[in-house]
Structure 1
Amino acid sequence: MSRNSIQLALLATTSLVLVLIIIYAAANIKSPSPDQHNEELRAAGIIALPKPRDIPTLSFDSSNNEPIVTTELKDKWYLVYFGYTYCPDICPTSLAEMRQIHRLLTPQAQQQVEFIMVSVDPNRDTPQQLRAYLNFFHPDFKGFTGDMTDVQKFSNALGIPFIPGDTNQPGYTVDHSGNLAIISPAGQHFGFVQAPFKIEQVAQQFNRLVQQAK
């Protein structure tokens, strides 16, 4: 056998070995287990329900001056905040943090993650009031308002109850949570984002959730 033939044979053998190594490595790469995934979510302050829950069919008026039905909340991730425009402290802080989360999303995730504020003060929060308020934080943020009974049904279904304010008192306030409810692309209650938000970690996890759905 000539020297060139030997070199070619060695080269072919080396290439074959490299291909086999790559195939073996690819076959043994393990996807993160559900437990590992949930642990990473928890580290970001995101609590996933053991089993996603259906949400009731309810109708609201949106800040875009269009009616909205909760069955339309699907095919994207939705971060739902229950607050009100006359809130003196928690709401401005939470919405500013939501704006920061939005900024840290990838362009693709910004198209697939929507931020919604449902008013716990529908007595004062008209669609126009919500639009003007939310524009201060981000023009893509949406607001829902409607009948108090429906708002309470929605908040209870998403595990974020509140105590309605006494509308007979001037300058009344509403006791509510700072947490975010998460609705999945399947239109189900997926879990929560706990306040105070871990902004960078929350954004990273939703970037990953959107990427995994591709």
Structure 2
Amino acid sequence: MPYLSKGRTLILSILGVLFAVIIGLLAGNYLTSGNDRSTAMREAGIVTLPSSRGLPALQLVSTRGEQINTQNLTGKWSLVFFGYTFCPDICPTTLAELRQLKKQLPEQARQNLQVLMVSVDPHRDTTEQLKLYLDYFDPEFTGLTGELKDIQTLSNALSIPFIPGDTSQPRYTVDHSGNLAILNPDGRQYGFIRAPLNIQKLAEQLPNVISQ
């Protein structure tokens, strides 16, 4: 009997060691995988916030002819870009890249994503002007405009500020960023995508975000 007891103890000890080794390997793989995912996200230019944050309640009008409360941008993941139709460089480049990115995403990801362009030049960007401009890139892209003060409030809340143009000048420009804000389906800011956009890496990593 003592020999049997010792045998059971030895077997249990071996099993305990094996279990600990397996758990250690699984934990190591999980942590490595998590670190790899974080690195891949950063290399794609995706920056996530420690915790999501809400948007201020503002009234804008869309190119679909709807009054939009910015707290009701829900139901889908959103990429929010601040630009204007008279922009000579950043805007056409960014919108063309977003069109390319959308084409490379899996069907489910495309269905769960919307692209919103908020005009930083409401003085010239009517909803009609915005619609004509965005339709050239993708008819499903939605434009938003409204009062300048509200647009500035929104851009500051999303940490993508801009400097309004001097509307007294005939061909004024607006200083703005090419960064994108990411909103989750609850209408809260999830993070950013840094400019310049890396389409290939975004096409690989963005589905991991919008499948959450």
Name the TM-score class by shorter chain: 0.7 to 0.9
Match of 1:152 in 2: 152
TM-score (norm 1): 0.82
Contact 2:47 2:194 in 1 (8 A): yes
**Residue of structure 1 in register with 2:79 after alignment:** 79
Report the CA distance between 1:40 and its aligned residue: 2.2
Given that 2:82 and 2:120 are in contact with CA atoms closer than 8 Å, whether structure 1 keeps it comes out as yes
Instruction: Determine the C-alpha separation between the residues in 1 that align with 2:202 and 2:61.
Output: 28
What secondary structure is seen at the aligned counterpart in 2 of 1:65? coil
Q: Report runs of 4+ in structure 1 exceeding 3 Å deviation.
A: 27-37
Unaligned runs of 5+ in 2: 1-21
Tell me, yes or no, if the aligned pair for 2:47 and 2:191 is still in contact at 8 Å: yes
Name the Cα RMSD after superposition. 2.0
What displacement does 1:111 show? 0.9
1: CA distance, partners of 2:187 / 2:101? 22
Count of aligned positions: 188
What is the alpha-carbon distance in structure 2 between the residues aligned to residue 78 and residue 203 of structure 1? 15
Deviation at 1:185?
Answer: 1.7
Q: What one-letter code is carried by the residue in structure 2 that aligns with 1:160?
A: I
Separation in structure 2 between the aligned mates of residue 79 and residue 171 of structure 1, nearest angstrom: 28
Separation in structure 2 between the aligned mates of residue 34 and residue 144 of structure 1, nearest angstrom:
36
What's the offset of the Cα at 1:50?
1.8
* Counterpart residue identity of residue 40, structure 2: E
Structure 2 counterparts to residues 73-152 of structure 1, below 5 A = 73-152=73-152
1:31 and 1:143, CA in 2 relative to 1: closer, same or farther beyond 3 A? farther
- Report the TM-score, using the length of structure 2 for normalisation: 0.83
Structure 1 residue 35: Cα displacement: 4.8
Q: Equivalent residue for 2:7?
A: none
Q: What CA deviation, in whole Å up to 9, does each residue of 1:115-164 have, x standing for no partner?
A: 11000000110111110000000010000000001000000000100000
Shift in CA distance, 145/112, structure 1 to aligned 2, threshold 3 Å: same
Secondary structure of the corresponding residue to residue 96 of structure 2: helix
Cα distance between partner residues in 1 of 2:51 and 2:197: 23
CA contact (8 A) 1:183 1:190 kept: yes
Q: Distance in 1 between matches of 2:56 and 2:37?
A: 28
Matches within 5 A, 1:181-196: 181-196=181-196
User: Match of 2:188, as an amino acid?
Assistant: Q
Deviation sequence 1:61-110 (CA, Å, 0-9, x none): 10111111112212321100000001111110111011111111111111
Match of 1:70 in 2: 70
Q: Distance in 2 between matches of 1:68 and 1:31?
A: 42
For 2:85 and 2:107, the matched residues in 1 are separated by 28
Q: C-alpha distance in 2, partners of 1:51/1:140? A: 29
Gap change, CA 1:37 and 1:68, over 3 Å in 2? same
- Kindly state the Cα deviation for residue 210 of structure 1 after the two structures are TM-superposed: 3.1
Which has the larger displacement, 201-210 or 62-71?
201-210
Distance 1:35 1:154 in 2: 32
Structure 1 residues 128 and 37: alpha-carbon distance in aligned structure 2, compared to 1, 3 A threshold: same
**Residue type of the alignment partner of 2:187:** G
